[in-house]
Amino acid sequence: MKYTEVTYGALQSAYDHYNHTLFEDRLPQCLITLQRQKGAAGYYALDRFADKAGVNVDEIALNPEGFNREPKAVLSTLVHEMTHLQQAHFGNPPRKGYHNKAWGVLMEATGLIPSATGVEGGKKTGQSMSHYILAGGAFELATEELLAGGFAELLADIWTKVVKPKKAPTRAKFTCPSCGLNAWAKPDSILVCGECKLLLKTEEA
C-alpha cells in the first residue's frame, strides 16, 4: 500500500466532500498536513505556505495520534478546522487560537456544537475548544454519505495508532507478608526476609 498517497488522497477527498456539502464550495484549497502537536487534535494556520505563483496557501493540520478514534470523530476535527478557514476568509477571526461566538455560529451550521469539554453543556467559547457531533445534523449526514462510499475501509488499515508493547520491568518490589519489609531486585529474584524467614512476595515497582 502507498500509505502517503492513500492517506493524503483520502484527506483531500474528504475536504472536497465537506466543502461541497457543508460550505457550498466556497472554501479555497489548502494544504492538509499531519502534525504531532501535543494536546491538539488539529489546527488551522492562515497563509502558512506560498506556491510558485506567489499565492498564499493555508494549512490544516491533523494530529495522527488521534487517528485511533472512530473515522467520524477524526473527520469532525477536519471540519472544525475548516470552519476556522471559513471565518478567516469570510468573517472576522479573533486573536490566534481563540474561539469566539461567530466561529461557534459557523460550527453549529455544520452540525458540530462547540464545547470546551467535548460533550453537551461545555463552555462554547475559549482558547482551547473541542466539539461534539449533533445527532442528525448536517455533519453527521454528510459523513454518513462519505463513509458509505468506502472512505472508512480505505483508511481502516492505517488510521489506527500503533500500540507499542510495554517493556518488561527491570526491577520489582518485594514485600514480606509478615513484617512488611520492602526490597527491590530483578523480577526473577528470590528473596527471604532475614527476620521472619519468609519468602518475599513481589509486585512490579
So where are the chain's domains?
Answer: 3-155, 172-204
Dist CA 55 CA 118 (whole Å): 36
Torsion angle in degrees (nearest 10) through CA of 144, 148, 150, 151: -10
Burial grade of 167 (CB within 10 A; 0-12, 13-18, 19 or more): exposed
Q: pLDDT, tens digit, for every residue of 135-191?
A: 999 999 999 999 988 777 666 555 665 556 677 778 889 999 999 999 999 888 899
Q: pLDDT, tens digit, for every residue of 2-11?
A: 878 888 888 9
C-alpha cell at 31: 494544504
pLDDT at 205: 44
Q: 148-153 — which CB contacts under 8 Å span 24+ positions?
A: 151/10, 151/13, 151/14, 151/71, 152/71
For cell 464545547, the residue is 115
pLDDT at 153: 66
pLDDT at 18: 98
Q: pLDDT, tens digit, for every residue of 75-102?
A: 999 999 999 999 999 998 888 878 999 9
The CATH class, in words, for 3-155 is alpha beta
What does pLDDT average to over the chain?
Answer: 89
Which residues touch 187 (CB under 8 Å, ≥6 apart)? Answer: 168, 169, 171, 172, 202, 204
- This prediction has a pTM of 0.76
**Of the ranges 47-56, 72-81, 122-131, 153-162, which one carries the lowest mean pLDDT score?**
153-162
Q: Name the nearest CA neighbour of 14 among 64, 79, 83.
A: 79
Query: pLDDT exceeding 90 applies to what percent of the chain?
Result: 61
pLDDT at 156: 57
pLDDT at 65: 82
